């Protein structure tokens, strides 16, 4: 069904029907009502592709994350989507799988799709691709990892250094001195800042840091598993392990269980975002919980504000407070 068909049915001009559909210019209330009834009768739906071609944009927000299976990023997506739908936008979700090449391909695709805006948890350290987003005036908000270009774009994160420091300080206050670290790529701020927080807490407490207790890889479960196995083969074992995110923690837990040792009796474990909505994970892992859905909602709000007010040029960096979950995975020594 086209606008022309609706216009012919009502014996009015196509431009009048168009004004009603787009809610532009004045149309007499009685006539507007008739048009709306006809649109509903014929189940008319606007052709968004044609609209985007005409306006050189679409009512679509791109969302790029490194791991769509991670409940943290899933919650961010949910938050962005809730705001997008509220304002008549759809979202396209892209999973980069922590790969730079895949992320770059998706970003190029999103530009070609003429997206209106972008929310991205990039795995890139410098994000050179963002120049084209600036050139096309596409509002962009970073979540989680902030590349070196973050001063030019809006962002929504937590203070990873402080959150990590406080989490490690909790386990130090429980009497632990030998604390290992399993983390992701240090070219990503979410990883490097948690490393800094761990290191600062250890140094401030006067704890000795052993190089073999530091494991750096990807944020994939297989690395958490392999690194934990390596740690458990050391001559001098740590009494606790800090896994820098939930996926690494799940891998570490699997290795610990396979080794036949108990959490927290034999080894304590702390992490970020290790939430178990099923209640089946025992013990509950002591964690810093980021407000993931709120991050998505605020990112969505920033996007909509910039789309509705293109003259706003101020860059906003929003830093939210994580919530500490004491859990049951730390044994006082």
Per-residue pLDDT tens over the stretch 92-120: 999 999 998 899 889 888 887 889 999 99
226 — pLDDT class (breaks 50, 70, 90): very high
Six-digit token pair at 172? 């130090």
pLDDT at 53: 44
pLDDT at 310: 85
Q: Is the pLDDT of residue 56 over 70?
A: no
Count helices and strands in the chain by DSSP H and E runs: 12, 12
Q: Is the pLDDT of residue 275 over 60?
A: yes
How buried is 90 (Cβ within 10 angstroms: 0-12 exposed, 13-18 middle, 19+ buried)?
middle
Q: Report residue 249: phi and psi, to 5°.
A: -65, -40
Residue 291 neighbours by CB under 8 Å, 6+ apart: 158, 320, 321, 322, 323
Q: Are 96 and 43 in contact (CB under 8 A)?
A: no
- 11 or 160, which is more confident: 160
pLDDT at 250: 95
pLDDT at 42: 76
**Percentage of the chain with pLDDT > 90?**
66
16-34 pLDDT, tens digit each = 888 877 766 677 888 888 8
Span 268-278, average pLDDT: 91
186-218 pLDDT, tens digit each = 999 999 999 999 999 999 999 999 999 999 999
pTM as predicted: 0.81
Q: What is the C-alpha radius of gyration for the chain, rounded to an integer number of angstroms?
A: 25
Six-digit token pair at 241? 């392990």
49 — pLDDT class (breaks 50, 70, 90): very low
Q: Are strands 268-272 and 286-289 parallel, antiparallel or unpaired?
A: parallel
Q: Which residue has the tokens 């979540």?
A: 143
Span 265-282, average pLDDT: 89
Six-digit token pair at 162? 């402080």
Kindly report the average pLDDT of the chain as a whole number: 89
Three-state DSSP state, 117: strand
243 — pLDDT class (breaks 50, 70, 90): very high
| CA–CA distance, 201 with 185 (Å, rounded to integer) | 20
């Amino acid at each position: 069904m086209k606008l022309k068909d609706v216009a012919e049915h009502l014996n009015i001009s196509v431009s009048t029907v168009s004004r009603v559909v787009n809610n532009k210019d004045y149309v007499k209330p009685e006539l507007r009502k008739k048009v709306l009834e006809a649109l509903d009768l014929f189940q008319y739906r606007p052709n968004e592709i044609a609209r985007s071609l005409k306006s050189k944009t679409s009512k679509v927000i791109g969302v790029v994350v490194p791991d769509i299976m991670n409940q943290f990023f899933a919650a961010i997506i949910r938050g962005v989507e809730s705001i997008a739908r509220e304002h008549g936008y759809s979202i396209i979700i892209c999973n980069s799988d922590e790969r730079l090449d895949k992320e770059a391909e998706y970003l190029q695709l999103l530009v070609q799709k003429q997206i209106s805006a972008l929310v991205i948890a990039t795995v890139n350290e410098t994000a050179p691709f963002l120049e084209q987003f600036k050139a096309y005036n596409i509002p962009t908000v970073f979540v989680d990892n902030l590349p070196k270009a973050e001063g030019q774009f809006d962002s929504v994160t937590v203070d990873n250094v402080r959150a990590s420091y406080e989490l490690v300080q909790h386990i130090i206050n429980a009497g632990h001195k030998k604390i290992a670290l399993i983390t992701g790529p240090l070219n990503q701020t979410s990883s490097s800042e948690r490393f800094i927080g761990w290191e600062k807490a250890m140094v401030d407490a006067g704890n000795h840091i052993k190089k073999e207790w530091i494991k750096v890889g990807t944020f994939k479960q297989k690395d958490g598993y392999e690194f934990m196995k390596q740690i458990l083969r050391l001559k001098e074992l740590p009494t606790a392990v800090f896994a820098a995110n939930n996926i690494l923690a799940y891998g570490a837990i699997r290795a610990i269980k396979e080794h036949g040792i108990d959490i927290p009796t034999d080894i304590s474990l702390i992490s970020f975002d290790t939430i178990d909505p099923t209640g089946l994970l025992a013990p509950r892992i002591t964690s810093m919980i980021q407000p993931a859905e709120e991050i998505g909602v605020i990112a969505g709000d920033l996007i909509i504000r910039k789309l509705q007010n293109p003259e706003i040029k101020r860059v906003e960096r929003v830093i939210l407070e994580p919530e500490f979950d004491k859990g049951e995975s730390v044994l006082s020594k």
